């Protein structure tokens, strides 16, 4: 965490109070990757009188002073995610004036949370390396094995499952919200989507020369990787609306993988099946046509199950989707072949 000059002209009551002179600079806290940056140094000022240089005890209350700018940390009511419908993230600022009420409690973090954060951070960095190699068409066979191992470990991690067994068969019964949150906040989901896009010409990779149709070709070794990626996405969104909305932004891209046996269909229907708002927003005649055509070409009942899942969200029928499916299946002669003709 570091402090930088905040040029945002928006003011709130607390910021106006703490600014001091009109020309005084106001700072805000940002995340920092470089731990050796002087802007990351803060002093702890205890709210109780202690001897000089005495250790600050755990669970005590302190005020935070930013060393480089000589300013004090304070809260604001200015949203960071102001583009969201319901902002939930608020800026933390720094100002010259010291406000006694602006105290923070030092709460020790359980060791397991530290281990989870370390694992998620390291996994995100490694996924970035693999995605870069994949885009440069430099992902070797050993790299693919290592990537499969890492993706498998991430499935076990988000599902809180002991290692061992088939990662694609794991069922998530009691989602761990904190681990799901780490998957998004540590950019693991972002890197997973990079992996899903990196090999293909359709998404800007001119080096590989791979087309989407090559996904089924076993010589490229992509199908097992993609199946693990989609399983990670499925577990990360289960019963967690914030991640559902994040993943849904890639909905148009994920549709390109429907029909390639990489679990894209299952992930999409799981995502929409539990979120009516997303389902009504994203399911159109185009998506219904896609699934119906897959039924016709593959003669596989699972695509009918996916269509069935799109009719319901949280055990509540969705009339708009039901009507779309009926219009596509019952009112068009070319799709009548997917029905059983009885006399």
pTM value surpassing 0.85: no
Q: Which of 244, 188, 204, 199 is nearest to 226 (CA)?
A: 199
- Are the C-beta atoms of residues 225 and 195 closer than 8 Å to each other? yes
Q: What angle do CA 178, 123, 209 make, to 5 degrees?
A: 125
What is residue 310's predicted lDDT score, i.e. its pLDDT? 81
| Domain boundaries defined on the chain | 2-105, 111-277, 283-343
What is residue 228's predicted lDDT score, i.e. its pLDDT? 97
What is residue 243's predicted lDDT score, i.e. its pLDDT? 94
Measured distance CA(68)–CA(1) in Å, rounded: 13
- CATH number attached to the domain at 2-105: 2.80.10.50
Q: What string of DSSP letters covers 1-55?
A: -EEEE-------HHHHHHH-STT---EEEE--S-TT-GGG-EEEEESS---TTPP
What is residue 117's predicted lDDT score, i.e. its pLDDT? 95
What is residue 52's predicted lDDT score, i.e. its pLDDT? 67
Q: How far is CA 150 from CA 143, 161, 237, in A?
A: 10, 14, 19
- CATH number attached to the domain at 111-277: 1.25.10.30
What is residue 77's predicted lDDT score, i.e. its pLDDT? 80
What is residue 51's predicted lDDT score, i.e. its pLDDT? 67
Task: Return averaged pLDDT per consecutive 10 residues of the chain, 343 residues in all.
Answer: 76 60 76 80 81 75 88 83 79 82 86 95 97 92 96 96 87 93 96 95 83 88 96 95 91 87 90 81 81 76 79 83 85 74 75
Q: Which of 23, 29, 27 is nearest to 8 (CA)?
A: 27
208-239 pLDDT, tens digit per residue, is 778 988 888 888 899 999 999 999 999 999 99
């Amino acid at each position: 965490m570091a402090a930088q000059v905040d040029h945002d002209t928006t003011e709130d009551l607390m910021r106006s109070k703490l600014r001091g002179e009109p020309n005084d600079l106001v700072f805000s806290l940002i995340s920092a990757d470089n731990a050796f940056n002087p802007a990351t140094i803060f002093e702890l000022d205890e709210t109780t009188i202690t001897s000089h240089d005495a250790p600050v005890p755990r669970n005590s209350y302190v005020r935070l002073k930013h060393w480089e700018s000589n300013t004090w940390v304070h809260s604001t009511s200015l949203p960071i995610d102001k583009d969201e419908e319901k902002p939930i993230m608020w800026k933390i600022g720094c100002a010259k004036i010291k406000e006694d009420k602006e105290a923070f409690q030092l709460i020790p973090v359980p060791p397991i949370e530290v281990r989870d954060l370390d694992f998620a951070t390291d996994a995100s960095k490694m996924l970035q390396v693999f995605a870069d190699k994949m885009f440069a068409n430099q992902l070797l066979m050993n790299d693919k094995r290592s990537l499969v191992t890492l993706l498998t470990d991430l499935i076990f991690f988000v599902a809180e499952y002991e290692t061992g067994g088939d990662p694609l068969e794991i069922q998530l019964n009691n989602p761990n919200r904190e681990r799901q949150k780490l998957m998004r906040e540590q950019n693991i989901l972002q890197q997973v989507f990079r992996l899903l896009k990196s090999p293909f010409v359709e998404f800007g990779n001119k080096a590989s020369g791979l087309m989407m149709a090559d996904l089924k070709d076993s010589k490229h070794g992509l199908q097992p990787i993609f199946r693990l990626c989609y399983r990670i996405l499925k577990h990360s969104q289960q019963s967690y609306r914030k991640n559902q909305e994040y993943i849904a932004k890639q909905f148009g891209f994920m549709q390109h993988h429907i029909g390639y046996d990489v679990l894209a269909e299952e992930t999409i229907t799981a995502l929409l099946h539990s979120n009516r708002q997303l389902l009504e927003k994203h399911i159109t005649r185009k998506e219904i046509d896609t699934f119906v055509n897959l039924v016709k070409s593959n003669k596989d009942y699972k695509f009918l199950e996916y269509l069935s899942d799109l009719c319901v969200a949280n055990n509540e029928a969705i009339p708009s989707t039901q009507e779309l499916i009926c219009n596509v299946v019952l009112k068009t002669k070319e799709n009548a072949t997917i029905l059983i003709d009885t006399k």
